């Protein structure tokens, strides 16, 4: 059976760590692309030389062009500038929209049938940029945010209760950032709602920390943003697609009426399999959750309207 070909565009911290994790799990052969001369080649060679020690035979190639990416099964887009302290995701909009547009124009020439996973920030708006430029069907455009947000939420709950993260199923909806909607009602610890296990005030503090999860790391690092957990989240999504796992994961997907949202990429639970997004799961929300999700969608809509002016 031929191995899958996975391209990672952007060989910075998120891209290179994604390539490393993909190689170590032998999910497919990896092409690492970046505009910086020789840098992706150097990182690819370094990851390749880890193979004898870690015991993987993944082929990994670094390149400054797109010819090597031809006929990729999946393309992960991490390109763009990272957030700096004090910078909002929205500040990134103008710069990264131009970068992502150029990447997608190149990808659609060489891999017209690929599945696109978008990681660039501001996430929901960049996924919309990819949709507008590529004109791919909606099942082949997926934004990575919810898996990361749910991982952060799970981490903080595990720390609070001193239980294994494996016991926790976190449920997160909405845009990536300040308006995200971590649902405490649907978040469970070994099947029990977290609302029954953690007092309301503590839970609200954990929800706030989850919302601010990216900014917390930016402020601690001083010179960059998170990349270990984001790359782990990407690999979870890639693996679900490559292995046709039909795994339910929170991802940014194009909603066309689901949850009362139309024409926007917003974080919702989806079934990920070989075709990409195979189904959006509609969960019954209460009035408070619906209102929070609508606020989140409205914030995404504002960004997308700015994108329409830029493109």
- Residues assigned a catalytic role: 176
**Strand 5-9 relative to strand 74-77, pairing:** parallel
| Crossing angle of helices 123-134 and 93-110, rounded to 10° | 40
Residue 14 CB partners (closer than 8 Å, separation 6+): 78, 119, 227, 230, 231, 234
Residue 128 CB partners (closer than 8 Å, separation 6+): 264, 265, 300, 303, 304, 307
- What does the alpha-carbon distance between residue 66 and residue 9 come to, in Å, rounded to a whole number? 9
Q: How many CB atoms lie within 10 A of CB 102?
A: 13
Give the three-class secondary structure for 145: coil
């Amino acid at each position: 059976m031929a191995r899958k070909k996975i391209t990672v565009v952007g060989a910075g911290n998120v891209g290179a760590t994604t390539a490393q994790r993909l190689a170590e799990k032998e999910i497919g052969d990896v092409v690492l692309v970046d505009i910086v001369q020789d840098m992706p080649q150097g990182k690819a060679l370094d990851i390749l030389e880890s193979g004898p020690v870690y015991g993987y035979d993944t082929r990994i190639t670094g390149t400054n062009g797109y010819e090597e990416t031809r006929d990729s099964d999946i393309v992960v887009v991490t390109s763009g500038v990272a957030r700096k302290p004090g910078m909002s995701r929205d500040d990134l909009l103008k710069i990264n929209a131009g970068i992502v547009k150029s990447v997608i124009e190149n990808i659609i020439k060489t891999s017209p049938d690929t599945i696109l996973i978008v990681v660039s920030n501001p996430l929901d708006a960049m996924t919309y940029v990819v949709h507008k430029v590529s004109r791919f069907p909606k099942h082949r455009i997926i934004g990575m945010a919810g898996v990361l947000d749910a991982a952060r939420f799970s981490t903080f709950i595990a720390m609070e209760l001193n239980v294994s993260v494996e016991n926790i199923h976190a449920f997160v909806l909405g845009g990536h950032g300040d308006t995200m909607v971590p649902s405490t009602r649907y978040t469970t610890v070994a099947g029990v709602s977290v609302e029954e296990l953690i007092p309301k005030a503590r839970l609200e503090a954990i929800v706030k920390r989850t919302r601010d999860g990216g900014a917390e790391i930016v402020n601690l690092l001083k010179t960059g943003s998170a990349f270990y957990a984001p790359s782990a989240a990407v690999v979870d999504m890639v693996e679900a697609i490559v292995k046709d796992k039909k795994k339910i994961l929170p991802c940014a997907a194009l909603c066309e009426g689901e949850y009362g949202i139309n024409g926007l990429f917003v974080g919702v639970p989806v079934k990920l399999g070989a075709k990409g997004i195979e189904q959006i799961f509609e969960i019954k929300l209460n009035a408070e959750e619906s209102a929070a999700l609508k606020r989140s969608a409205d914030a995404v809509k504002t960004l997308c309207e700015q994108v329409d002016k830029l493109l």
